[in-house]
Structure formats: structure tokens, C-alpha cells
Amino acid sequence: MTQTGRSAKGVTGSTSYHSGLSAEHQVAERYAQAGAQWLEHRWRGSAGEIDLIFEKDDTLVFVEVKSSRSFDGALNSFRSRQVARVCQTAEEFAGRFGEPREIRLDLALVNGAGQIRTLENVLAMG
């Protein structure tokens, strides 16, 4: 326990939550500056949650934000199980619009210095 009565894990979890939130807002700002319309933040569907959802040029852009001390650490935290969950959640969100739309999944990496690298359309990369 720490002096405040919170466990070290609780403090670490709180710090991770706030740094993740800060990273998400930084990434959202960058997308907005590029002309994307911000639709949702931390949208929750039956399969899980998507960090950010935008619309740009009739395309729904789903963004998973990963932050770590390094870009490699952030990238390595995005696992195949999470990709499947994000895809299911994206399909659920897109289904709310009725008509088929272009869908893109981006991965935004934020390092310890607050720098951002965006990997666009990660499902088409492979």
C-alpha cells in the first residue's frame, strides 16, 4: 500500500488510464486538424470498445490508440485477439448507418515523449 492507502497497482492503473486518455486526445486533435469529423470517443459495443471514431471523405475511420515508452512497445501491445475485437466492434458501429460504407482501421502509436505515429489502414497492410 502507498501512503495514500491505494495499492501500487491502483496508482499504476490510474496513471495508465490518464496517460491513455491524454494520448487519445492528442491523436483526436491530429485527426481533426487533418479534416476528419470526430464522431465518438471510447465507443462501447457488445464485442468491446474502440478508442476513437472519425468520418472523413465518406469513410468511417476507427482508431486504436496505443501508448508506451517507445513506439515498438506500443506496437507490440496490439495483439491479434484485440484486432478481432476491434473489427467486430467497428462492424457493429458501422451497421448503425444502414448503408454500406468504407471502413478503415488505423493504429496510432504514442511514445513516452508524446510523439505520434499513425499506421493507416492496418488491415490492408498484411
> Over its length of 126 residues, how does the chain's per-residue pLDDT go in tens digits?
445 455 555 555 565 665 678 999 999 999 999 999 999 999 999 999 999 999 999 899 999 999 999 999 999 999 888 899 999 999 999 998 877 789 999 999 999 999 999 999 998 754
pLDDT at res. 10: 55
In words, the CATH class of domain 8-124 is alpha beta
Domain definitions of the chain by residue range: 8-124
- Calculate the alpha carbon distances from 2 to 6, 10, 13, 17 in Å: 6, 10, 14, 18
pLDDT value for 124: 78
Residue 123 buriedness (CB in 10 A; 0-12 / 13-18 / 19+):
middle
pTM of the model: 0.84
Give whole-number Cα distances, 67 to 22, 90, 108, in Å: 10, 21, 8
Starting from the edge strand earliest in sequence, which strands make up the sheet with 49-56, in order?
Answer: 37-44, 49-56, 59-67, 102-110, 116-119
Looking at residue 80, what is its pLDDT? Answer: 86
pLDDT score of 1: 46
C-beta contacts of 53-56 below 8 A and 24+ residues apart: 53/93, 56/31
- Three cell numbers at 26? 492528442
* Cα–Cα dist 84/56, whole Å: 23
Determine the 3-state secondary structure of 106 from DSSP: strand
